[in-house]
Amino acid sequence: MDRKTFLKGLVAASLAAATAAPAAAQDGEPIKIGEINHYKRMAAFAEPYKMGIEMAVEEINAEGGVLGRPLEFVFRDDQGEPGEAIRIAEELMTREETAMVTGSILSNVGLAIASLAGNREFVYLAAEPLADAVTWEQGNPWTFRLRASTYMQAAMLAEAAAETDAMTYATIAPNYAYGKDAVAAFKEVLTELKPGVEFVAEQWPALFNIDAGAEVQALERAKPDAIYNVTFGPDLAKFVREGNTRGLFEGRQVYGLLSGEPEYMEPLGAEAPEGWIVTGYPWYDFEGDANAEFVSAYRERWDDTPKIGSLVGYATALSIAAAIEKAGSTESDAIRQAFEGLAVDTPAGEITYREIDNQSTLGAWVGRTELRDGAGVMVDWSYKDGADYLPSDERVRELRPSE
């Protein structure tokens, strides 16, 4: 189903709900959604994400809104601080009277909001935070996640790594929830797929405070066959530049979680690494499908190229609209129940929010980095369905707290 077909279906459901709903609900007041993010601290991701949301909301409202009412996002900046995010979430839940909250990029912030949502019994859609704990070890019935988790994306890269001759690996990841989960998942899956592999070094730089020279030296001393990189943003840029200067990547396969995303690849320009196997977003190569339609519409609306954040923001708004339509209400428990098993058509295809753990099946693109016209891109890429890269239901039940 393409973007226009989805929106037509949404407005049809809206009209049906409007006919059945009490008169009090048909006053034209907007349905407010609280959106909490790091707009200043992580503008490279957060701004395209916001633009994706705004484009989807414009389209939804142009087709009649949700339950016959306009959809409105209330955007707030938490400065990337968990405490500030909690304060804002409380305000959005009470004074702003939002139907639910969404957002966050950093996993420590997302986990803080998720904990509050569980305690307050208020729906939270974790759009971006990738730490597995969001839906597993610290999961709760009120928290759902859109993006493919660290486990899912790490499993995709581990699958590629298992097909090579490399037997010794070094890892580098930011020292917080996302980085720790990403390394643990890669090690778990790769060890299962290729018994005998050895991890000879683990580097844990502080988030956004990497000493790239020291990290590169430590990795080189370990002499690994391959490297698994989880750094992103400015840390990734510093790591790549220092690694290029010191020849760390020569003769070694590197696997990069998120490293192919335009947010992080574009700032590197001609310094972008070549030959890395990465997850990312090859918007520049989509042809003849819903992804290409989304890219075209986004470029026309914003006079800019999309990022992975653009797609995530767009799918976030579509998911929320679909859940509220399915619920036929803005009451918290009705929205929570509607999200369980919810199917949503996105530019990447249909996704489902699984009932077992509230994790969506949105996948990721995996490919190889290459320089094209002086900039890094992904080539030889393919889309991996998220549903194919999740552990068994039995394993999920072991990880997720009983409810």
- Fold classification of 151-283+364-399 (topology level): Rossmann fold (3.40.50)
| Reported pTM | 0.93
**CATH superfamily of the 3-149+286-352 domain:** Response regulator (3.40.50.2300)
pLDDT tens figures, 90-147: 999 999 999 999 999 999 999 999 999 999 999 999 999 999 999 999 999 999 999 9
Q: Which amino acid is at 42?
A: M
Output the pLDDT for position 402.
75
* Alpha carbon distances (Å) from 1 to 5, 245, 316, 371: 6, 47, 17, 33
Residue 371 near residue 261 (C-beta atoms within 8 A)? no
Give φ, ψ of 73 to 5 degrees. Answer: -100, 135
Q: Measured between alpha carbons, how far is 196 from 286 in angstroms, rounded to an integer?
A: 38
Helix orientation angle between 332-339 and 308-327, rounded to the nearest 10 degrees: 120
Residue 246 near residue 254 (C-beta atoms within 8 A)? no
pLDDT tens figures, 42-63: 999 999 999 999 999 999 999 9
Residue 113 CB-half CA count within 13 A: 35
Kindly give the pairing relationship between strand 168-172 and strand 143-145: unpaired
SS3 402: coil
Domain limits, the chain: 3-149+286-352, 151-283+364-399
Residue 70 near residue 31 (C-beta atoms within 8 A)? yes
Query: What is the mean pLDDT for each group of 10 consecutive residues in the chain (403 residues)?
Result: 52 42 54 97 95 98 98 98 98 97 97 98 97 97 98 98 98 96 97 98 97 98 98 96 97 97 96 97 98 98 98 98 98 98 98 98 98 97 98 95 74
Q: Measured between alpha carbons, how far is 49 from 362 in angstroms, rounded to an integer?
A: 16
Give φ, ψ of 236 to 5 degrees. Answer: -65, -45
- Give one DSSP letter per residue of 5-46, joined into a string: HHHHHHHHHHHHHHHHS-GGG-S---EEEEEEE-TTTTHHHH
Cα pseudo-dihedral 249, 385, 304, 293, rounded to 10: 140
Asked if 3-149+286-352 and 151-283+364-399 have one fold, the answer is yes
Token pair of 59, please? 């389209």
Output the pLDDT for position 25.
39
